[in-house]
Chain A
Amino acid sequence: MNVTETTAATACWGCGAPAGGEHFCAACGKIQPLPRGTDYFRFFGLPRKLWIEMGDLEARFHALSWKLHPDNFVRSSAAEREMSLERSSQLNDAFRVLRDPVARVEYLLELEGVRKEGQTKQQAPPELLEEVFELNESLDELRAARAAHQAEQETAGLRRRLEEAASGFEARLEDVDRQLMAAAREWDVALDAENSAAGSAVLARINEILNRRSYLRNLVRGVTQELGEA
């Protein structure tokens, strides 16, 4: 167990019973303040696994929404209203991140200290360098043609080449997504086995896969945008 998460000593603000960082005090039922650094998995009572069953997550989200929503605290003290606001916003933030498979992976990497928030590498992966070079050349040609107001049929060949390149990169993107899923399963296995060395290795690999993924996505998006504008 992670030492920094030990919040069991926290006492309920209302009755003084140990509240242990739970949403409500088990003894008196009062809503509890949100300890700093509570992570999204823990908030939902889930282990830090990457495979999450959507129906289960949604059911947990609904159950917690019924309890934590500010609608239930309009007549409570200002402090309790504040706690409800904090907890329900955390609930919604957590649901938004965890239900999205990619955002979930990014969040785990941040949580495990593998990457800092919003930090992605935007370098081309070495095996793609040549293709990216060609793609950029074609894009430049298309922009030049547009600047010279060339007719649509004259750029048709160029456009076809770009579309082919884009669909090639999209296929790679699907491939990357498959790699990501496989790596995610490996992380879950390492977590179950409490094998932290294997876990760190997988996370490092996941980080690389994610970087490649975001690079490819930007590439595809850029091409689609250029083609759309023409």
Chain B
Amino acid sequence: MSRTVGIDLGTTNSLVAYVDPATGRPKCILGPHGSTLCPSVVSLDADGAIVVGEPARRRLLTQPDRSIYSVKRLMGRGLDDVHNELKLFPFRVDPESRQVIRVRLGDRVFTPPEISAFILRELKSWAEHFFNEPVDRAVITVPAYFNDAQRQATRDAGRLAGLEVLRLVNEPTAAALAYGLHEQQRGLVAVYDLGGGTFDISVLKLISTGQGDIYQVLSTNGDTHLGGDDMDNAMLAVARQELRSRFGRELDAQAEPLQELRKALSAAKHALSSEEKTAVRALLGEDLAYAREWTRAELESLLAPIVERTMGPVKQALADAHQKPQAIEEVVLVGGATRMPLVRRRVEEYFGRPPHTELNPDEVVALGAAVQADILEGGAPQRGMLLLDVTPLSLGIETMGGVVAQIIPRNSTIPASAQEMFTNSADNQTGIVIHVLQGERELARDNRSLAQFTLRVPPMPAGMARVEVKFLIDASGILQVEARDLRAGEKQSIEVQPSYGLSDSEIERMLEESIEFAEEDFAARQMIEARNEAESILTATEKALSSEAGAALDSEERASIEEAMDALRQAARGTDYKLARSAVEALNLATHHLAEAMMNQVLHVAVEGKKLSEV
């Protein structure tokens, strides 16, 4: 029997977890780089091979035009939706993109679900390597505030990765499952989930019944474009302004130095969660570097408006749950960005109680996904746990004058359904057009278009046709539509072409194409990656040794670098990827001082030791 795993497909990192049958506890699976986190980065090699995770993340710096990160931001979205993002992210969108965005990696074009599928395939291979057996079923988490198109895109990604997606689970709900198991919590719980690209808030009621615990979501709210990425962008804007005003230098949005700077700033952001100040140093070219100290106070005043943007959804979620902040008994923090003291303080201040941070905020969602996968394998009563989630957005249909008639209100427990009767408005009209929307606004044009389809009716006088349409939101939050002609008494199957999604035939074609990317043997692939990595670091080191800074090295240091290079060359010729990788690390360590020396030789070292206010 194959296994079902839980996958957190994150904006920044993705993870795969399972429930250990021996202990009944969820656990994250370690990847080949010794971490449970797989960076959600995909890179296309010049020879056409796909690289995912840690090695791809390094390529963001060396081959930015062949690499992509944060693709989750593009899932289920059209070109118009992401117009603003494109100014901030180095996405190379194919100008021919229409309803589904297409992104360029090198000379090839992919849709966001295809890129996400590469990440899922990688995690699948981690799990298969770990269990030593095939894994083809998964529970995948999505932001609670994802709409239908974003959910469908995620499910499509699973399918393209060769996974049967048994369920999509909302990230904050998954976190609540993991925490509930860990803490045996009861009562009202709020989950505040600030990740790399999305923010969710969910209010749950944990109820003990004779058969086990029910996790009932009362309300959810959020912003699918608010997270750590936005914080990095705010920091990047400040740094670019500093470079501009001091040296009149502009960094190309597509190129390597900008990624180098982003990486350094992001690392500083992390450091400032535990330190009061930190030095940011980034080499941005032959004659340009960014180096200065950032303080936590400065970072907090820069990011406070971003954190404040989470409070609107928090208040709305509480109002929808008919609760006051004081009534919430437990507050749980999820997502890497909640490590920031600023976020913790704001949440504590609002709810008037310290939040729970016992579980690793990077892993807790994947752990919850594994718990849900285990429930699906065994059945809810057998596991003594049942999750009742809600739909985050109201479902409606367009009526006369472009007004939306709501048919399933937001925060309805799912599965949920609604039946509507339709008739012909003109004599002998043979088609009734139905436009389905998601959102809270009164006018159709202000909401998200999910699908448009035509009901077929035989010609008859106006008002005589009677077609009953059933709209059903399933347990994954995805819409299904079924129509029944009450006069003919027959069911009508409806081809619902999503407004912002892939059609079945497109998915079929992508599945066929994806065979060319079929996985090679896990260890062989790891070895190829390690070899590539070795090659690039060896080349860079050779270049550094022949530079001015290299010439100035004392003989002892030069010898130790050369020794590390020899060791790496030898390991790269072998077949043990772990050995090759540790040789890479050793060389990195040996050249640490050399790299610093090179940095110091750069002519323009930006704003060393100056505060923002003095720039």
- Assuming A66-B381, A92-B414, A95-B413, is B475 touching A71 (CB within 8 A)? yes
Within the complex, the shortest CB–CB distance from B363 to chain A, in Å, comes to 23
| Contact partners of A95 in chain B: CB under 8 A | 413
Determine if A138 is an interface residue (Cβ-Cβ < 8 Å): no
Stretch at the interface among A19-27, A83-91, A167-175, A190-198: A83-91
A-B CB contact pairs (8 Å), 5 listed:
A70-B415, A74-B377, A85-B415, A88-B415, A93-B418
Contact of B413 among A70, A74, A85, A96 (CB under 8 A): A96
* Minimum-distance CB pairs A-B, first 6: A89-B415, A89-B417, A92-B413, A71-B380, A74-B376, A70-B475
Write the chain A residue with the least CB distance to B480. Answer: A85
| Contact partners of B167 in chain A: CB under 8 A | 71, 74
Contact of B474 among A65, A67, A75, A85 (CB under 8 A): A85
Within 8 A of B (CB), among A65-107: 65-67, 69-72, 74-75, 85, 88-90, 92-93, 95-96
- Assess whether A93 is in contact with B416, with CB atoms less than 8 Å apart: yes
- Assuming A66-B209, A71-B376, is B412 touching A96 (CB within 8 A)? yes
| Contact partners of A65 in chain B: CB under 8 A | 214, 386, 388
Write the chain B residue with the least CB distance to A36. Answer: B484
CA separation between A93 and B419, bound complex, in Å? Answer: 11
Determine if A146 is an interface residue (Cβ-Cβ < 8 Å): no
| Contact partners of B212 in chain A: CB under 8 A | 66
- Residues of A whose CB lies within 8 Å of any CB of B are 62-63, 65-67, 69-72, 74-75, 85, 88-90, 92-93, 95-96, 117
- Residues of B whose CB lies within 8 Å of any CB of A are 166-167, 207, 209, 211-212, 214, 375-377, 379-381, 386-388, 409, 412-418, 421, 472-475
| Contact partners of B475 in chain A: CB under 8 A | 69-71, 85, 88
| Contact partners of A88 in chain B: CB under 8 A | 415, 475
- Assess whether A71 is in contact with B386, with CB atoms less than 8 Å apart: yes
Contact of B379 among A62, A71, A89, A93 (CB under 8 A): A71
Contact of A89 among B214, B387, B472 (CB under 8 A): B472
- Assess whether A62 is in contact with B207, with CB atoms less than 8 Å apart: yes
Contact of B386 among A69, A74, A92 (CB under 8 A): A69
The secondary-structure label for the interface of chain B is strand
Known: A72-B380, A93-B412, A117-B421. 14 other contacts (CB 8 A): A62-B214, A66-B209, A66-B386, A70-B474, A70-B475, A71-B375, A74-B166, A85-B415, A85-B474, A89-B416, A89-B473, A93-B416, A93-B418, A96-B409
Write the chain B residue with the least CB distance to A116. Answer: B421
| Contact partners of B473 in chain A: CB under 8 A | 89
Write the chain A residue with the least CB distance to B4. Answer: A74
CA separation between A65 and B380, bound complex, in Å? Answer: 10
- Assess whether B474 is in contact with A72, with CB atoms less than 8 Å apart: no
CA separation between A69 and B380, bound complex, in Å? Answer: 8
Within the complex, the shortest CB–CB distance from B575 to chain A, in Å, comes to 41
- Assess whether B375 is in contact with A85, with CB atoms less than 8 Å apart: no
CA separation between A74 and B374, bound complex, in Å? Answer: 11
| Contact partners of B376 in chain A: CB under 8 A | 71, 74
| Contact partners of A63 in chain B: CB under 8 A | 209, 211
| Contact partners of B387 in chain A: CB under 8 A | 71
CA separation between A57 and B176, bound complex, in Å? Answer: 25
CA separation between A68 and B581, bound complex, in Å? Answer: 51
| Contact partners of A96 in chain B: CB under 8 A | 409, 412-413, 416
Write the chain A residue with the least CB distance to B474. Answer: A85
Within the complex, the shortest CB–CB distance from A24 to chain B, in Å, comes to 13
Write the chain B residue with the least CB distance to A70. Answer: B475
- Assess whether B381 is in contact with A92, with CB atoms less than 8 Å apart: no
| Contact partners of A70 in chain B: CB under 8 A | 415, 474-475
CA separation between A116 and B167, bound complex, in Å? Answer: 37
CA separation between A55 and B395, bound complex, in Å? Answer: 29
Write the chain B residue with the least CB distance to A88. Answer: B415
- Assess whether B472 is in contact with A85, with CB atoms less than 8 Å apart: yes
| Contact partners of B388 in chain A: CB under 8 A | 65, 69
| Contact partners of B409 in chain A: CB under 8 A | 96
Contact of A90 among B207, B417, B474 (CB under 8 A): B417
| Contact partners of B375 in chain A: CB under 8 A | 71
- Assess whether B472 is in contact with A72, with CB atoms less than 8 Å apart: no
| Contact partners of A90 in chain B: CB under 8 A | 417
Within the complex, the shortest CB–CB distance from A48 to chain B, in Å, comes to 20
Within the complex, the shortest CB–CB distance from B473 to chain A, in Å, comes to 8
- Assuming A65-B214, A85-B472, is B416 touching A92 (CB within 8 A)? yes
Write the chain B residue with the least CB distance to A117. Answer: B421
| Contact partners of A72 in chain B: CB under 8 A | 379-381
| Contact partners of B380 in chain A: CB under 8 A | 66, 69, 71-72
CA separation between A216 and B514, bound complex, in Å? Answer: 60
Within the complex, the shortest CB–CB distance from A90 to chain B, in Å, comes to 7
| Contact partners of B417 in chain A: CB under 8 A | 89-90, 93
CA separation between A90 and B470, bound complex, in Å? Answer: 12
Write the chain A residue with the least CB distance to B164. Answer: A74
Write the chain A residue with the least CB distance to B409. Answer: A96
Which of B166, B167, B207, B475 has the largest number of chain A CB atoms within 10 A?
B475
| Contact partners of B211 in chain A: CB under 8 A | 63, 66
Within the complex, the shortest CB–CB distance from A77 to chain B, in Å, comes to 15
| Contact partners of A62 in chain B: CB under 8 A | 207, 209, 214
Write the chain A residue with the least CB distance to B420. Answer: A117
CA separation between A88 and B415, bound complex, in Å? Answer: 6
| Contact partners of A117 in chain B: CB under 8 A | 421
CA separation between A66 and B379, bound complex, in Å? Answer: 9
CA separation between A93 and B375, bound complex, in Å? Answer: 24
Within the complex, the shortest CB–CB distance from A156 to chain B, in Å, comes to 29
Within the complex, the shortest CB–CB distance from A83 to chain B, in Å, comes to 12
CA separation between A164 and B386, bound complex, in Å? Answer: 48
CA separation between A62 and B211, bound complex, in Å? Answer: 9
Within the complex, the shortest CB–CB distance from A89 to chain B, in Å, comes to 4
Which of A63, A69, A117 has the largest number of chain B CB atoms within 10 A?
A69
CA separation between A26 and B93, bound complex, in Å? Answer: 58
Within the complex, the shortest CB–CB distance from A74 to chain B, in Å, comes to 5
Write the chain A residue with the least CB distance to B383. Answer: A71
